Amino acid sequence: MAPLRFASEKNYDHLIKLLLIGDSGVGKSSLLLRFSDSYFTTSYITTLGIDYKNRAIELDGKKIMLQVWDTAGQERFRTITTAYYRGAMGILLVYDVTDESSFNNITNWIRSIEQHSSDNIVNKILVGNKVDMDESKRAVPFSKGQALANKYGIKFFETSAKTNLNVDEAFFSIARDIKQRLPDSKKTPSRIRINKHNNATAARGSQKSECCG
């Protein structure tokens, strides 16, 4: 599905902030690149800290701007990335189906969300990525992923950033669930300032760091 282009950056009904979290190497950046730019590459640089991309979509006749934040999975960046839980409207918990440890750590990521999120209403989905890999390399069966999602009462998708399997479906699903709990009236989101590297800077007013409105 080709990304939409709105006439202007303000020409949308809702701004929805999503967060990709999970262990390093599970393919969060690849999922974001596939979703935002319809592109996949095997050459990538590990995310340092946090980055984001926007994509405009249409849901049920409403124009939605998705602001998707990609977080670093390494332990040394946890202090930085957990700050971005505040204000997140939806979180995609990503693991690698060929890496059982990344799946086992999902419980820790959920615990981190509960500890650092400032909003009790945060939509979450579970994403098992890299299903394009040879089946002999699979370490986490579909049934195990579904069982974990059922335990936390969230939706579950298996995806492949490489083949584009279920990538749009996962993002559209969580966006639709969030939209259903938003008021119909359009609200203008507060602005953020970004530097030339496309990363969030300190918000104006107080010196607290914010990532979006």
What is the residue whose two structure tokens read 């902030």? 17
Quick: pLDDT tens for 4-21.
554 445 689 999 999 999
185 has pLDDT over 70: no
Given a contact cutoff of 8 angstroms between Cβ atoms, the answer to whether 187 and 180 are in contact is no
**Domain residue extents for the chain:** 14-179
Q: What is the mean pLDDT of residues 186-198?
A: 41
CATH top class, domain 14-179: alpha beta
pLDDT at 9: 55
188 has pLDDT over 70: no
Query: CA dist 165 to 115, 128, 133, 138, 155, Å?
Result: 32, 11, 12, 16, 16
What is the pTM (predicted TM-score) of this model?
A: 0.78
213 has pLDDT over 60: no
Q: What is the mean pLDDT of residues 43-53?
A: 63
Given a contact cutoff of 8 angstroms between Cβ atoms, the answer to whether 168 and 1 are in contact is yes
Quick: pLDDT tens for 58-114.
998 999 999 999 876 444 445 555 667 777 899 999 999 999 999 999 999 999 888
pLDDT at 83: 67
**What's the mean per-residue pLDDT of the chain?**
80
